[in-house]
Amino acid sequence: MSAEATNPGAHSRRRGRPRIDLRRLGRAALLGPTGRDRLPDAIGHVVDAHRAHHPDADLVPLHKAYLLAEASHRGQFRKSGEPYITHPLAVTLILAELGAETTTLTASLLHDTVEDTEVTLNQVKTEFGAEVGYLVDGVTKLEKVDYGAAAEPETFRKMLVATGNDVRVMSIKLADRLHNMRTLTVMRPEKQARIAKVTRDVLIPLAERLGVQALKTELEDLVFAILHPEEYERTRALIAENATSCTALAAFADDFRAALREAGISAEVHIRPRHFVSVHRVCLKRSQLRSTDFGRLLILVSEDADCYAVLGELHTCFTPVISEFKDFIAAPKFNLYQSLHTAVAGQDGAVAEVLIRTHQMHKVAEAGVVALGNPYVPVDGAEPADGERADPTRPGWLSRLLEWQQSTPDPDTFWTSLRADLAQDKEITVFGADGRALGLPAGATCVDAAYAQYGEAAHACIGARVNGRLATLSTVLGDGDTVHVLLAQDSASGPSPQWLDHARTPAARIAITSWLDAHPEVAAAPSAAPRRPVPLPAGRPASANAVVDLPAATVRLAGCCTPVPPDAVIGFPVRGGAVTVHRQECPAVARMTGLGREPVPVRWGDAGECRVTLIAESFGRPRLLADLTEAIAGEGAAIVSATVEPPTQQRVRHTYTLQLPDASGLPALMRAMRDVPGVYDVSRTQHPAATA
């Protein structure tokens, strides 16, 4: 854009300079001395490419926009010495070849006028409409004079916010960057590297997310040549040495055509050579390249059902490589991409990778959102609610990005978070407890799902159920998982610093960091350090109310299972004339029976005090021990002893030996403990004990 423009007569806008008369230029476009049929050949190439996709398109706006752009950029030159008008023309031609509609092309011709000339945004809106004006404003850079070092990140923030309301803004920006990258060799090497890095970190991931593969692959190759010149030259030489490698793929293509023709399936079979970065990736993946690794076969059909018919025929006539099969038709990628991927082996053992898709799928695979035309045309005249436009991307990564950027007023934090978010090049879809779909980057955890679903309310998250099973917050989610986030009732609870180790999305990291900054005492506390078992004051001794039919026998309740009425129990005589009473399901019963120990019948006497050991399984959080102690006291139980094991995977185990005034109160006590936020299970102890 303007980085390559030079204007000997005016390097900056000066107040008082006469404005361009757009109405006069508009009349010239329609009725001027040369006439509409004698416009320069430069715009003629754009018109031809546009008409190939949109035969009935109205060309009047394009003619007007070209004349305005040519007049306003007259006298400006690129670093290469070419007239500056060649740049907006090249950008527009790129979009026209992808199938962009007239409004996008009109804005593309004008995309630098507001930034680099005396044309104002209001003039553009007046002559070409609010929609074109919005697109032009969306790609217009912010002035360094006003923003200093923050100009670049804030420009991208502005552009992304505009893209959130109209993805065509980013389409123009991507085409603009592609043409600048094509002509970047006139820049100083250090500036080339800086622009290439931003392209790699921001623009290429955005092209991937918008599905514009045609732009993405060329941008990747151009960046590869600048940032990794040695690897690029080696890859280029490797491709040149294997220029005849298409022979093997051509043989496959002929066999495919014959097989499909015999099956009565109408299809086109094409050879698609891999681009430089793709070949380089295959080199890194395999120690030695096969002759068929330099390209793939593309099969185009008319209907979705034909895709599966082609797949079945290929897998019948050739040996399929099952591990290479992927169905992106039934489960499209998050960037609209649909295709069947497979690989088959011929009789000689050669393997060919195959892409199967319809003509429409191919158009979308190459041009992404550009192929949608105007994705915001109302269906059946129904306008979106509240004036908001539906996100044409799937499943809404752009909306997620727009949400977290609002929480990052600092330009450096935004720039860092944006690059980190875009580095996640794969996406998964998970479902909340209410069935709502959540789009998350691959590798996201329950922490990310909590903040994606509840925002700042996720500070009170204490755990989650993934596909119905309890899971820690660090659990990595898979595509299609159902996540039920568990929130504490205590609104004062908050995240721990360890959550940052599990957060993958900027939204989660920013929210957690903000809360920890506001609560420095939590960040400073060594909450994650292993805690030693904490003994609590002992209570009264147990008084057994179990009765055995042995004169003068002393009855003891086993500590391994702590039986209480009305448990089914059994006793075993031990040294000293005592009888130890166990619950019948206690592991010690089976062990002593196996040793030949004779059991003694036991019955419960009058109700009275009893002692029981309970285990509480919980997620770690502040004040958990205090809340459990309060719940126990509220049920009238006395704590004889308690231990808290060191936390493992954010889970904490509490073991309590309790004195109850009446065994009938045990169920209510266990319910009260389970109701404590963070506690997901309370059970009776049942651990092996030494043989009495």
> What amino acid positions are annotated as catalytic residues?
115-116
Query: How far from each other are the two terminal CA atoms of the chain, in whole angstroms?
Result: 86
β-bridge pairing 461-466 and 295-301? unpaired
Cα separation, 560 vs 543, whole angstroms: 16
C-alpha span between 175 and 366 (Å, rounded): 14
Cα separation, 395 vs 400, whole angstroms: 10
* Per-position DSSP letters for 27-74, written without gaps between them: HHHHHSTT-GGG--HHHHHHHHHHHHH-TT---HHHHHHHHHHHHHTT
> What count of Cα atoms within 13 Å lies in the side-chain half-sphere of residue 673?
27
Both tokens of 163, joined, read 């893209």
- Find out whether 342 and 298 touch, Cβ atoms under 8 Å: no
- Could you give the angle at which helices 246-262 and 304-317 cross, rounded to 10 degrees? 110
Q: Where are the beta strands (DSSP E) in 241-284?
A: 268-273
Alpha-carbon distance of 136 to 91, in angstroms, equals 13
For residue 603, list its beta bridge partners: 547
How far, in Å, are 540, 609, 663, 674 from residue 667 at the CA level? Answer: 21, 15, 9, 11
Tokens read off for 682 = 């309370």
Q: Is 199 within 8 Å of 175 (Cβ atoms)?
A: no
Burial of 333 (0-12, 13-18, 19+ CB in 10 A): middle
Residue 343, burial from CB neighbour count under 10 angstroms (0-12, 13-18, 19+): buried
Q: Which two tokens stand for residue 231?
A: 């690897």
